[in-house]
């Protein structure tokens, strides 16, 4: 465990997601130091100054604008830089634009440090996690994507709203791609320790059969819906990132659906996608991979196929 490193988090990309993540980490006191890096120096200086003027009201934190040299002592480097999703544009459409940016950023980071855990957020996040992992030469555990941590939170929220229970008491995971082919793992879904089907049988609200069926559609449509209304999503993803960074900095070993390079789980390999993984100081460790029913396994494989096609596109240059 790397306990001697500074609690420094470097965020590459001071756009909506990068800055909101910095704000979230600041307000929660997650990191000792937050450094923002962006091509747009003018905007970067403004954002860093605005954030730093709030430190008097937050747990002790330093926030500042910086550059790649700040990665040297970083515990975590978050990559949010890139082009953002336009209304109606699929995440995979962003692919080529962001793969080139991602490779160059990872080159800058690994020339300064081989110790930091790198968390890729830029979309399409699974493909770019693969690109980043290969470009980095680091162990797969150390280069992870935010994956479906946000989608799993949305899933838990929609289930909790439907069932009228606290989302903290809903354990539910979205697996596969962070995108259209993602899979709601109903077989892993529990409320207060009861498997969801068992819970439904006892809750007494008498929902009709199939009442839960639309919830995963809501999860899948969430980003499109928000982008349609306000152009970008950044609050919930920032809280998801705070969760991931906290688990790394505090070596929590929390189970989170980060995107990692899969090597054999569920018969899949050489693809980055999300499965519940134990996240601690060194990144993503072992996967939690319970047996899946046939339909969920088939959907997971279909999701992996979508990603493999995109990866092949990127690898072909």
Shortest reach from residue 297's CB to ligand NAD, in Å? 24
Compute the distance between CA of residue 120 and CA of residue 128 in angstroms, rounded to an integer: 7
Shortest reach from residue 261's CB to ligand NAD, in Å? 17
Compute the distance between CA of residue 70 and CA of residue 295 in angstroms, rounded to an integer: 46
Residue 143 vs 163, nearer CB to ligand NAD: 143
Residue 217 vs 295, nearer CB to ligand NAD: 217
- Contact residues for ligand NAD, defined by CB under 6 A: 12-18, 38-40, 80-82, 84-85, 101, 105, 121-123, 125, 146, 150, 178, 232-234, 237
Residue 26 vs 81, nearer CB to ligand NAD: 81
Shortest reach from residue 40's CB to ligand NAD, in Å? 4
Query: Closest residue (Cβ) to ligand NAD?
Result: 15
Residue 107 vs 139, nearer CB to ligand NAD: 107
Shortest reach from residue 29's CB to ligand NAD, in Å? 23
168 catalytic? Reply is no
Beta bridge partners of 195: 190
Compute the distance between CA of residue 190 and CA of residue 116 in angstroms, rounded to an integer: 34
Q: Where are the alpha helices (DSSP H) in 187-234?
A: 196-202, 215-230
Q: What are the backbone dihedrals phi and psi of residue 8, each rounded to the nearest 5 degrees, phi first?
A: -100, 135
Shortest reach from residue 197's CB to ligand NAD, in Å? 29
- Residue for token pair 């690109």: 131
CB 233 within 8 A of CB 124: no
Count Cβ neighbours within 10 Å for each residue of 196-212 and write b for 16 or more, e otherwise. Answer: beebbeeeeeeeeeeeb
Q: For helices 16-28 and 235-249, what crossing angle results, to 10°?
A: 50
Catalytic residue from among 178, 225, 301, 313: 178
Residue 30 vs 122, nearer CB to ligand NAD: 122
Compute CA distances 243 → 68, 72, 251, whole Å: 24, 23, 12
Q: Which residues are catalytic?
A: 178
């Amino acid at each position: 465990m790397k306990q001697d490193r500074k609690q420094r988090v470097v965020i590459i990309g001071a756009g909506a997601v990068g800055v909101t993540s910095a704000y979230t980490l600041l307000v929660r006191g997650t990191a000792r130091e937050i450094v923002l890096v962006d091509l747009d120096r003018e905007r970067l200086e403004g954002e860093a100054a605005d954030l730093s003027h709030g430190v008097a009201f937050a747990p002790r934190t330093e926030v500042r604008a910086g550059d790649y040299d700040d990665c040297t002592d970083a515990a975590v480097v978050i990559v949010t830089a890139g082009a953002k999703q336009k209304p109606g544009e699929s995440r995979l459409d962003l692919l080529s634009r962001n793969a080139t940016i991602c490779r160059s950023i990872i080159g800058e980071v690994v020339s300064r440090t081989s110790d930091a855990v790198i968390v890729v957020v830029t979309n399409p996040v699974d493909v770019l996690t693969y690109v980043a992992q290969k470009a980095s030469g680091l162990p797969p555990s150390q280069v992870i994507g935010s994956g479906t941590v946000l989608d799993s939170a949305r899933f838990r929220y929609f289930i909790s709203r439907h069932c009228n229970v606290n989302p903290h008491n809903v354990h539910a995971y979205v697996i596969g791609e962070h995108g259209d082919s993602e899979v709601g793992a109903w077989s892993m879904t529990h409320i207060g320790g009861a498997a969801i089907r068992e819970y439904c049988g006892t809750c007494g609200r008498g929902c009709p059969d199939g009442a839960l069926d639309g919830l995963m559609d809501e999860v899948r449509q969430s980003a499109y819906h928000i982008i349609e209304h306000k152009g970008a999503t950044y609050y919930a993803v920032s809280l998801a990132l705070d969760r991931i960074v906290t688990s790394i900095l505090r070596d929590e070993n929390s189970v989170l659906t980060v995107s990692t390079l899969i090597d054999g789980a569920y018969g899949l390999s050489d693809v980055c996608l999300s499965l519940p993984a134990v996240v601690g100081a060194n990144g993503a460790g072992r996967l939690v991979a319970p047996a899946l029913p046939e339909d969920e396994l088939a959907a997971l494989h279909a999701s992996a196929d979508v990603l493999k096609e995109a990866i092949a596109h990127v690898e072909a240059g």
